[in-house]
Amino acid sequence: MQTNEKKIIWKKKDLLGLEYLSKEEIELILYTAASFKEVTTRQIKKVPALRGKTVVNLFYEPSTRTRTSFELAAKRLSADVVNIEIEASSVKKGETLIDTGRNIEALKIDIIVVRHNASGAPNILARSVKSRVVNAGDGWHEHPTQALLDMFTLKSKLGRIEGLKVSIIGDIAHSRVARSNIWGLTKLGAQVTVCAPELLIPEGIEQMGVKVTTDIDEALRGADAINVLRMQFERDGALAFPSKLEYFKQYGITAERLAKCKKDIVVMHPGPINRGIEMSSEVADGKNSVILEQVTNGIAVRMAVLYLVAYAKDPAPSEASKVRKEGAG
């Protein structure tokens, strides 16, 4: 009944990125998330663990799915939730991030969940406030809870992370999801391959311990799982690749390509999907796809993260609150 009791204690005030976590800390989050997964299957999907605590969702970038997921996670822990979005906030009146953070903190809140278009913004915020800070995606830097829910989904599908071959396919250069996944997966002992058109592979990515290829067939061969990233043609994608159709032809995941893969290959996508660009509808809705499970698991993982940072034992100031220059080039 009782499986591997984890003795590790969570001491981090914030969750800023998977780069800053140890293998054991990542495993603790995944273990805790499994317990919260059970809560989300109950008829009454609510536990009193964060009763009396307040979570602020501070979003400088539009986001429906991540914000909703965090909001539900907090509510299912009985926390009170306030959403602050850029249009409605005083940012437009010239207030700095640090001032905004301190003002929010003066409202006697406990946790700030922040999304920002600048890499490292959550790190700056974490350094400036005593409240706990959870990164909900910053620039091209990290999106730790997305990577955690990807790993949680992988683990529940395949039973382990260690030794798995995972290929991340798509716009690696502009993807915080890719970066967080690479940090997390390599720490847990997976073999990671990244695959994209040449211009979408950031220079020096090999140093993160991944294999690099521009050949989709090579990325698919022998893979236990693929994580297909969203192509952001509305952003810089167009510069790196001539057309959507051309991308689909060369890199799109189709039933034909999947037929040559391992039979039980796990197909993930952080959403929202561009059907007919990153993958065909047949694949997105097919038996290998776990895309909707990822969404469900996201709530359990975010509950675990909120719970752990809220009750961090003697939290030390985050060593991660130093600003990194990464993602700029």
Query: Where on the chain is the footprint of other proteins (CB under 8 A)?
Result: 1-2, 5-6, 9-10, 31-32, 34-39, 42-44, 46-49, 77, 304, 307, 311, 313
Distance CA 218, CA 195 (A): 9
Minimum distance from residue 41 beta carbon to other proteins (Å):
10
Structure tokens at 302: 């975010």
We find the least distance from the C-beta atom of residue 207 to other proteins, in angstroms, to be: 35
Residue 35 CB, nearest distance to other proteins (Å)?
4
Alpha helix positions (H), 44-168: 65-76, 97-105, 121-128, 144-158
CA 55 to chain centre: 19
Output 56 or 300, the one with its CB closest to other proteins: 300
Shortest Å distance, C-beta 79 to other proteins: 12
Considering beta carbons, is residue 42 or 65 the nearer one to other proteins?
Answer: 42
Residue 277 or 308: the one with the smaller Cβ distance to other proteins is: 308
Task: Give which of 261, 169, 268, 264 is closest to 220, Cα–Cα.
Answer: 261
Which two tokens mark 29?
């989050």
Cβ nearer to other proteins, comparing 41 with 207: 41
User: Measured from the CB of residue 42, what is the shortest distance to other proteins in angstroms?
Assistant: 6
Considering the complex, state which of residue 76 and residue 179 has its C-beta at the smaller distance from other proteins.
76
- Residues 173 and 234 sit within 8 Å (Cβ to Cβ): no
Helices (H), the chain: 23-40, 65-76, 97-105, 121-128, 144-158, 176-187, 216-220, 238-240, 244-251, 255-259, 281-284, 291-310
Q: Taking each helix axis from N to C terminus, what angle separates 23-40 and 291-310, rounded to the nearest 10 degrees?
A: 110
Minimum CB distance to other proteins, residue 257 (Å): 37
Q: Show the tokens assigned to 288.
A: 């290998």
CA–CA distance, 262 with 177 (Å, rounded to integer): 24
Q: Which is nearer to other proteins, 205 or 299 (CB)?
A: 299
- The smaller minimum CB distance to other proteins, of residues 4 and 207, is found at 4
CB of 112 vs other proteins, minimal distance in Å? 19
